[in-house]
Structure 1
């Protein structure tokens, strides 16, 4: 799940433990343009303090003003809508006349926030059902592809583990990738058994491990919320890890290198009894073609392709690195000192 929403839930748990009253506000529907998607959450405390976001700020201001002047008085959940009229859309900063519907839920020990957090810590995918008439909450397993559901009777939200990214190789490109991915709310692990590369390598919020990459992939058990990137250029480190990743449920598996190197890599992986469907999952040369010349630009190229895969967006084949370079070999800017793509 989004780490911002995880922070919201953790603050709710803390405030309840302190005996404070608070409400959980969830975006349940949007029409037109909206700053935050359905499922985004905000927590508001009885003194007006907020964590999270449901809009660009104006709706938050209205919620805060309501709490500060009237307190938290709701006893049952309530659906409220902002932006129905053009004047309201302008007042609340909703672009293009957008409309947003929120569920406002007063929290208590019966809201099962602590139990939800416990299940999330165990990397469970959880469906939280809120009865909109009684306020009763139940938790259960969420199925693959399940999303937020709302009716006049109930709101069901889906909460799951954070997206994970395993990067093999602690080089300069990895530093940029890790920094940006952390900002995108990934839990990032960097694996490199080579002491000379690990020495002095550090990015805040990133776990650095020294095990062999294939062992790390096996231990990670990549699921549909996991991505694996191999960036060492060393077949002894990359190939076995890629083999394990391609046999997993990882939503994205990529490897750096030239077109020729990636062709040789695929032939080596075929010797590990990977079938055509598994090999077809390998993104390599990794990234989309944007004329990248520096490690920072290449990191953006890779994360753009990875984000499209995460969001289920089918990119046109002509923007893949290999296809774009075949079409315009004179602009092969990724063949510089980084030896990336």
Structure 2
């Protein structure tokens, strides 16, 4: 499954190649509360069909109405992009469903060969980060290698946006837990790869949209070379497999590296990685083990939710306190859990 930005760009390009007029809408700036952050994308074709979003729905409805009433030329009268602002007044904010005080500024551009969407999509497929500069006077676009993330920059002559490759999740081990994590990750727009060299574990494991590899974990990690939009999670409980992946993943640019297991196993794993595989202490500080946020999870689905919540939080730049980690949470709450589990339950 593609992430939303890629889906918007690919759909817009498809419409344009089919001969339909298309407008690409970018959230350039926001003030106060707004439903969608800067950088969000939406495309509208001449029939009023849409993909993506820039608000809770009311701004989209207004843009669709403009196009249906007067065509794409109404929104983009020339090749020059148009800047629209919604929610300046309290009445307008209320009309367009913006939170109190919210204002959103949009840039609308008519999609053409000048838009270079095909090159932008190709860069994403090749996992290259791209800086896109849109000339507000001519509609021409320049592309260059850029940082993987960034807030759009808008001035009187140019809109600069940043697009990086799809966030990728590499899971070591094909099992119930990895299946639940895959389902969640796919719904969140991740590219998902599951690695398990054990034929008996792969035999009955199938999930549409997931790449299943039978490589040894270290071979896979070395081949894929995890970048700053990649998370790696080891799920087999088998040190011979998990640690093969962790050794290389911890020395890569991956934004998240984690492994499941008990607190005792996690501590022993760190010792082995440091003493037997010469993994540095600074690299080990990036290892999340036991992986996940403490939510009292018991079932594979709950454990998957715990791990994916931590992965998404770190992807989004959230600073997590030590008290939210699984190891800390268990040490604080496990005695209470045990007490509750041994308390007789009255039944009627």
| Length-normalised TM-score, structure 2 | 0.92
SS of alignment partner, residue 133 of structure 1 = coil
2:329 matched residue in structure 1: 324
- 2:120 is aligned, of 116, 121, 127, to 116
Residue 102 of structure 1 corresponds to: 106
Q: Give per-residue Cα distances to partners, 1:244-284, cap 9 Å, x unaligned.
A: 10010100000000000011111110121111100111000
- Taking the aligned partners of 2:31 and 2:220, their CA distance within structure 1 comes to 43
Equivalent residue, structure 1, for 2:185? 181
- C-alpha distance after superposition, 1:30-52 (max 9, x if no partner): 12221111111111111211111
Q: Secondary structure in 2 aligned to 1:100?
A: strand
Post-superposition offset of 1:215:
0.8
Q: CA deviation at 1:23?
A: 0.8
For 1:232-247, what aligned pairs fall within 5 Å after superposition? 232-247=236-251
Q: Which residue of 2 aligns with 1:277?
A: 282
Q: For each residue in 1:278-319, what CA deviation from the matched residue of structure 2 results, as whole angstroms up to 9, or x when unmatched?
A: 011100011111111111111111111111211222111112
CA distance in 2, matches of 1:70, 1:144: 37
Show the counterpart of 2:315: 310
Q: Aligned pair in 2 of structure 1 residues 143, 268: CA closer, same or farther (>3 Å)? A: same
Please state how far the C-alpha of 1:28 moved relative to its aligned partner: 0.7
The secondary structure found in structure 2 opposite 1:89 is helix
Q: CA deviation at 1:143?
A: 2.8
Q: 1:208 to 1:331 in 2, by over 3 A?
A: farther
* Cα pair 1:170 1:197 within 8 Å, conserved: yes
CA-based RMSD of the aligned residues comes to 1.6
Match of 2:63 in 1: 63
The aligned residue for residue 54 of structure 1 is: 54
Measure the CA separation in 1 of the matches of 2:10 and 2:317.
29
Are positions 1:79 and 2:78 aligned together? no
Structure 1 residue ranges without an equivalent (≥5): 337-341
Matches of 2:34 and 2:12, distance apart in 1:
25
Please state if 1:90 is matched with 2:94: yes
Q: Which residue of structure 1 lines up, in the alignment, with residue 19 of structure 2?
A: 19
| Other structure's SS at 1:97 match | coil
Deviation at 1:331, TM superposition (A): 4.2
After alignment, is 12-21 or 254-263 more displaced? 12-21
1:19-38 equivalence runs, <5 A = 19-38=19-38
Does the CA contact (< 8 Å) of 1:291 and 1:331 recur in 2? no
Among residues 138, 153, 174, which one is paired with 2:142 in the alignment?
138
Q: Do the aligned residues in 2 keep the contact of 1:90 with 1:97 (CA within 8 Å)?
A: no
CA distance in 1, matches of 2:214, 2:47: 47
Structure-2 change in CA distance of 1:299 and 1:278 (3 Å): same
What residue in structure 1 maps to residue 344 of structure 2? none
Please state whether the residue corresponding to 2:147 is helix, strand or coil.
coil
Whole-angstrom CA distance in 2 between matches of 1:325 and 1:3: 34
- 2:306 corresponds in structure 1 to 301
**May I ask how many residue pairs the two structures share in their alignment?**
334
Residue 265 (structure 1) aligns with: 269
User: Which stretches in structure 2 are left out of the alignment for 5+ residues?
Assistant: 342-348
Measure how far apart 1:97 and its partner are.
3.4
Task: Give 2:9's aligned residue.
Answer: 9
For residues 332 and 193 of structure 1, what CA distance do their matches in structure 2 show?
37
